[in-house]
Chains A and B, each alone.
Chain A
Amino acid sequence: SELTQDPAVSVALGQTVTITCQGDTLRKYFASWIQQKPGQAPVVVIFGKTNRPSGIPDRFSASGSGNTASLTITGAQAEDEADYYCKSRDSSGNYLVFGGGTKLTVL
């Protein structure tokens, strides 16, 4: 994959966690972040640079620098336990690619 994520991350309840996504195309294109809970359809939590769709809590935020995009959850809740995927474009700009996903465990 052109986008690389850590397979798993854990966070204590109420603490802050950052999930990262690396790839050269992130120097040119923004990443989006997609949450998927077990047995459910995915949900977009961040799109564009830092935009949160309506209904997404403001504890979700995003940033980017160089070839790395980051999703930060400030004050993680039990309901945030899910798989998180970054998404952006490939090097040609014509196709979309996903990172491999990060499984977030809230302890």
Chain B
Amino acid sequence: QVQLVESGGGVVQPGESLRLSCEGSGFRFSYHGMHWVRQAPGKGLEWLGFIRYDGGKKVLADVVRGRGTISRDNARNTLYLEMSSLRPEDTAVYYCVRDRGSVLTTFYFDFWGQGTLVIVSS
């Protein structure tokens, strides 16, 4: 069955950097685009960005552009989100989400990971 497992969350100080990982299994990871979505405590969902199945196209939301990057290693079935200059408002659960399309970008979601919590605090 399809599984997405995020890791790398934790407590970080303001101004520090972080790399989150998302390992996919149960499907052909290299065939699917992937998204990152976050949710601050008690708040709604916020889309952060997308990377195409082959890594050839990336789109970042304004909130992370300039201090974040999305990458993937298809040989390791792993998606990454790196963010720098972290702020308290970056405190959130970070989810990786599979794009529904296979070797095709649909911008429709299907499977979500369980999320990893990032707390930015001194």
Residues of A in contact with B (beta carbons under 8 Å apart): 32, 34, 36, 41-44, 47-48, 53, 83, 85, 87, 89, 94-101
B residues in contact with A87, CB < 8 Å: 45, 47, 109
**With an 8 A cutoff between CB atoms, is B24 at the interface?**
no
* In the complex, chain B residues whose CB is within 8 Å of the CB of A53: 110
- Whether a CB of chain A sits under 8 angstroms from the CB of B80 is no
Interface SS majority for chain A? strand
Partner of A41, one of B47, B100, B112: B112
- For A43, list chain B residues within 8 Å (CB): 112
Q: Which residues of B are found within 8 Å of A95, using beta-carbon distances?
A: 47, 59, 61-62
Contact A41 B45, beta carbon cutoff 8 Å: no
Q: Which B residues are CB-close (under 8 A) to A41?
A: 95, 112-115
Least Cβ–Cβ distance between B44 and chain A, in angstroms = 5
Q: List 24 A-B contacts (CB under 8 A).
A: A34-B109, A36-B45, A41-B114, A42-B37, A42-B45, A44-B108, A47-B108, A47-B109, A47-B110, A53-B110, A87-B45, A87-B109, A89-B107, A95-B61, A95-B62, A96-B35, A96-B47, A96-B50, A96-B61, A98-B44, A98-B45, A98-B46, A98-B47, A99-B44
